[in-house]
Chains A and B, each alone.
Chain A
Amino acid sequence: MASPVTSVRAWLDERFPLDDLKALAQKKKVPVHRYSYWYFLGGMTLFLFGVQVLTGALLLMYYRPGADEAFESVQFIMTQVQFGWLVRSVHSWSANLLVFMAFAHLFSVLFLRSYRKPRELTWVSGILLLFLMLGFGFSGYLLPWNTLSYFATKVGTEIPAQIPVIGRPVLLFLRGGEDITGSTLTRLYGFHVAILPAVATLLIGLHLALIQWFGMSVPPGVEKQWLARPAEKKEIRFFPNFVLRELMAWYVALGMLGALAALFPWSLGVKADPFASAPAGIKPEWYFLSMFQTLKLIPAKLLGMDGEMLGILAFGVIGAAALLLPFLDREKPFNTRRWISGLACVFLGYMAVMTVYGWVAK
């Protein structure tokens, strides 16, 4: 007579292709070379997104969107709800680590040139996911309805208003009116918990399916080496070998999140007062700081155009270039390949310098 476990397994096998999925996972190989550790960044980003979904769902049980209730509900979560402080702090810290990890993943893929054919769509979906993560950050920032988030959102929504023709409609769309009010809060809440997660789920599904389909990219240098000496080619199984290693990295990330939440709980701040003047030296979150500082430093008039508008236009061009990077990487008619890594280095350096400058600037 079969054991209960075997019976359940047999029942499931008849109704769900569990063995096929297991075979697919075991069939997939992960290349092992001197850059292999960069492969962990994507998985780490996915893990942090999972933490966001889980902690976000828990916060939803107590959070109340509305200018009169939002701050108080977060205060309630932080002080009265069992482990509410931990959930909220982990959510905030994880959001920041997620953006950092997404950028790190982007630049690792860029420098290892993993975006090249046939993985162009994997890159495009990844860039769209990064934009979505920034959207999550922006929409979630206002939700505690504290002074800092209120005025940062005010400044943040004023930036796209500089775009000619569509600027004002975009501002009204983001704010749900002329000013930052309860309407803005419920609007951004809707984006944060419904629209963005739905789009993100689809894009993550596509991103993972493409990775699974094409496998891990091998850097060109390593690929050339392996072609010359096939005996040096090394691979491990995706499941369980790579997954178990990834699990170790996730444990480390979990420990780090717990430590940050316990040692540096995310501050609640002071409830937003729309009638108060903006506190001096107000700044956005660190991942928007380089853009913010650039717009602050740009002259009012540049090349006969409005400086701020020109800056926003430049960000748009950089965003579009990032999205279409695989298609810009070509040898003919011009060899752009050698320029891409160099420009990426300059851009990374510029972002780092401007972020630090924005952080220390008054």
Chain B
Amino acid sequence: MVKVRDSVAFMRGAAVVVAAWLICSGLIAVAQTKNSCLDCHSNLPEPLGVSVETYGQNIHAQKGLTCAACHGGDANNDDPEKAMSRAAGWKGKIERKQVPELCASCHADAELMKKYNPSLRVDQFQQYKTSVHGMKWAKGDTKVAVCTDCHGVHDLRAPSDPRSNVHPTNIATTCSHCHADAEYMKPYGIKTDQFANYQQSVHHEAMMVRGDLSAPTCTTCHGNHGATPPGVANVTKVCANCHVFQAQLFDTSPHKDTFAAMGFPGCVTCHSNHAIQHPTDEMIGIGPKAVCVKCHTEGDAGATQAEAMHNQLTALAAAIAASDELLRRAERQGMEVSQPKLQATQARDALLKARVTVHAFNDSELKPDTDAGLAVTRQTHAAGEKAMEEWRFRRVGLGLSVVAIAIALVGLGLYIRNLEQK
């Protein structure tokens, strides 16, 4: 009896579960957004073809938008004639000149964008209109970059996606598609060596070799949607976004007003722009690699200052190298020198600070930093000398101990022989 009651209860439960599953799956099917365009276009060749895989990686598709969001039409209709009818609002191919406004129809709408990404800015179109690209576009130039040239079209990904054209590691390559194309840039009369130069730069090395995504790429200095070349007066401000102290010191230096008066573009005057190399101490002074001699001549006040600064920097760098080498040698011999090695970092910090202070272009401001570094290297060098002296002492001690032990062994051997001969 109990068994029969249990079977009935089980059957009722199963029926409820099956009914619930059927209802839910029906509701899900209704709620799903249909994109009938892909049924045909995924099988078409380029340029009309868009594979399901490509479209699936599109950030818009991932947010639930269909082809109709840009192209119009009715993506829910399986009949191509009706889906791509003017009555259904179908626009067909989007012309390049229409792209910025089409994108802005959503991306400049703060209320709409909040639904998808509340933190996303909505001023891209406003910025674009102030850019060189945007201004030329407004004048009807269709060769200039529009949104899709940088962001992509059907494979458009979020900028944080490493595969995105506008991910920091890809931006320079994206810009180079036009700006390194001499033929394409010919009408604009601007150089096309920026990308090649950038690839030689310390900034490129930081970004691509060291993987530092905060390192500058094209948009860091030129802006992205409001892209424009920084003017002479603005270069220092652009560099100062990262190189804060160097810029502050430069502003207090005699070079600031002089450069401005002569029309020199601040930082770029000595460091260049796209091909910025890792700065060396040779850049300052009157040596063959010094940039100071571009304006100063040997013996003038500026050259004397530059030479004094060069000497201070190289003296500290040499003292650090000598101390490091000595400590390394002591460590190789098994000596415990972790404390002086740690202390040596203070000297390196002082050198780093001095290399920044150089931008005040005043050797008396540099001296406290280099003196502090030299004082540390004197201590670390002395610690290294002491460690090596201790190492030599140990060697001598070991030699004497071995001799003493050998004598004791011989003595014991003779004593045992004498003992056993009795």
Residues on A close to B: CB < 8 A? 75, 78-79, 85-86, 236, 240-241, 244-245, 247-248, 251-252, 254-255, 258-259, 262-265, 267-268, 270
| A259 lies within 8 A of B416 (CB) | no
| A251 lies within 8 A of B416 (CB) | no
For residue B334, CB closer than 8 A to chain A, the reply is yes
| B395 lies within 8 A of A262 (CB) | yes
Residues on B close to A: CB < 8 A? 334-336, 338-339, 394-395, 397-398, 401-402, 405, 408-409, 412-413, 415-416, 419-420
| A78 lies within 8 A of B398 (CB) | no
Bound CA–CA A270/B395 (angstroms): 26
A241 surroundings in chain B (CB, below 8 A) = 416, 419-420
21 contacts between A and B (CB under 8 A): A75-B336, A236-B420, A241-B419, A244-B415, A244-B419, A245-B416, A247-B412, A248-B409, A248-B412, A248-B416, A251-B405, A251-B412, A252-B405, A252-B409, A254-B405, A255-B402, A258-B405, A259-B398, A262-B394, A262-B397, A268-B336
A245 surroundings in chain B (CB, below 8 A) = 416
Interface class of chain A by DSSP: helix
| A244 lies within 8 A of B412 (CB) | yes
The chain B residue sitting closest to A255, CB to CB, is: B405
| B334 lies within 8 A of A267 (CB) | yes
A85 surroundings in chain B (CB, below 8 A) = 336
The chain B residue sitting closest to A245, CB to CB, is: B416
Shortest CB distance B207–A (Å): 25
Bound CA–CA A72/B20 (angstroms): 68
| A75 lies within 8 A of B405 (CB) | no
Shortest CB distance A256–B (Å): 10
Shortest CB distance A317–B (Å): 41
| B336 lies within 8 A of A78 (CB) | yes
Given A244-B415, A251-B412: A265 in contact with B405 (beta carbons within 8 A): no
Given A79-B339, A259-B398, A263-B398: A244 in contact with B416 (beta carbons within 8 A): yes
Bound CA–CA A255/B410 (angstroms): 14
A252 surroundings in chain B (CB, below 8 A) = 405, 409
The 8 A-B pairs with the shortest beta carbon distances in the complex, nearest first, are A262-B398, A265-B334, A78-B336, A255-B405, A262-B394, A258-B401, A248-B412, A244-B416
B394 surroundings in chain A (CB, below 8 A) = 86, 262
| B336 lies within 8 A of A265 (CB) | yes
B338 surroundings in chain A (CB, below 8 A) = 75, 268, 270
Bound CA–CA A251/B401 (angstroms): 11
The chain B residue sitting closest to A88, CB to CB, is: B336
Shortest CB distance A235–B (Å): 12
Beyond A244-B415, A248-B409, 19 extra complex contacts between A and B, CB < 8 Å: A75-B336, A78-B336, A85-B336, A86-B394, A241-B419, A241-B420, A244-B416, A245-B416, A251-B405, A251-B408, A251-B409, A252-B405, A252-B409, A255-B402, A262-B395, A263-B398, A265-B334, A267-B334, A268-B336
Shortest CB distance B408–A (Å): 6
Shortest CB distance B379–A (Å): 14
B335 surroundings in chain A (CB, below 8 A) = 265
A264 surroundings in chain B (CB, below 8 A) = 334
Shortest CB distance B391–A (Å): 9
Shortest CB distance A13–B (Å): 25
A247 surroundings in chain B (CB, below 8 A) = 412
A259 surroundings in chain B (CB, below 8 A) = 398, 402
- Considering residues B335, B395, B416, B419, which has the most beta carbons from chain A within 10 angstroms of its beta carbon? B416
The chain A residue sitting closest to B393, CB to CB, is: A262
Bound CA–CA A258/B398 (angstroms): 7
The chain B residue sitting closest to A262, CB to CB, is: B398
B339 surroundings in chain A (CB, below 8 A) = 75, 79
